[in-house]
Amino acid sequence: MAVVLLIGTVFVSVYLAAFHAPRPHELRVGTTEVGTHQAQLREGLARAVPGGFTLETYPDESAARRAVQDRSIYAAYLGKGNLLYASANGAGVTATVTTAFGGVARAEHQHLSVEDVAPSAAEDTRGLSAFYAAFGLVLAGYLFGMTTYQLAPRLTFRWRMGSLALFGVIGGIMVALIGGSVGFGALPGASLPLALVVALMGAAVGGTTMVLLRLFGSAGVSLASILLLILGNASSGGVLPAAYLPSWLHPLSEVLPVGVGVRAMQGLSGFQNDGLTRALVILPLWVLGAAAVLYLKDVFRREGPSAEQNTAEPQYAAALPVEEAGTRAELTWQAGTRAEPTWQAGTGVEPTWQAGPGGLSGLGGSGFDEGAQQRATWFG
């Protein structure tokens, strides 16, 4: 119960901290104005949202338009009340920039005139489809990583990695079909890159969950839910861009699989592939990193030269041999190994051994104290 309450507390705390009163922090915007007009623009934005904007200068309208379309900036003010924006960024960003620049236009005695240069998909009116599609696959990846060790604990490394790859491929194709033009049309980007990004994101989440479970046991399940489901989705930028996040949460959007994947999905849908290259670099690193850790844990240590000697609870393969009646036998073995016992019929009757780590139990003998010598007699 304590673990469940802890996870619930973290969830409520993170999401309320991120979204109870979101405001931009250095949101990138641009302008073609220079000199006094630009200085007045900076002052107007600072009054509207202190610390909320970073202003960049562009030589002409065409350059500013391209910057909005590829999401280098979130809006561009051209002077005389003209504003370029992208509704594909979502309703929250649209409200922020139109409100702030509306105040600037009024100060110039102008009426704000807006142009949407990167509209959201017709079937994605709120700009949230990428977030929900990613959330579904991230949840599936978490569940896959968690159950693979529970349902198939003895699965070999090769088959485990193969199943992870298969999960990612099927998940990527499924999301591309359902969200793309074949399905709801909410993710209108090219199907193949979309499927690839989603597949890598799902595999990265599934592999990371496996690693945490393998390293920390049952506690890894809770750690994965906090890192990937709570922190990952909250910092993904799917609801609002990362510029709206608290400073302690913002950096996670640049490195966690969810944030990297969501940005690429949004870029494929409406921003000229913004974030795609970054996703194709970072997401494979997560997958390869997870595979390397699992290999070291599941293959390298098991096959290492000292693996048998380091086994915490050594098992001893010993069976009483058949002896002829009236003879006596002596049994000896070396503690800490799995060597077959050696019997010498007709010899002394007091086999001895030194107890090793974890203790031993003798055939036909009684229990013993660790570190003590034991003696037992066997009669054929």
CA 267 to CA 380: how far, in whole Å? 80
- What is the structure's pLDDT at 199? 98
- What is the structure's pLDDT at 154? 86
CA 198 to CA 265: how far, in whole Å? 8
Residue 164: is it exposed, middle or buried by C-beta count within 10 angstroms (0-12/13-18/19+)?
buried
Give the chain's residues under pLDDT 70: 301-380
- What is the structure's pLDDT at 302? 62
- What is the structure's pLDDT at 374? 45
Task: Identify which of 48, 122, 46 has the alpha carbon closest to the alpha carbon of residue 88.
Answer: 122
Residue 368: is it exposed, middle or buried by C-beta count within 10 angstroms (0-12/13-18/19+)?
middle
The residue extents of the domains of the chain are: 23-116, 129-303, 310-380
- What is the structure's pLDDT at 125? 86
The CATH label, of 3.10.20, 3.90.930, 3.40.190, 2.60.40, for the domain at 23-116 is 3.40.190
- What is the structure's pLDDT at 257? 97
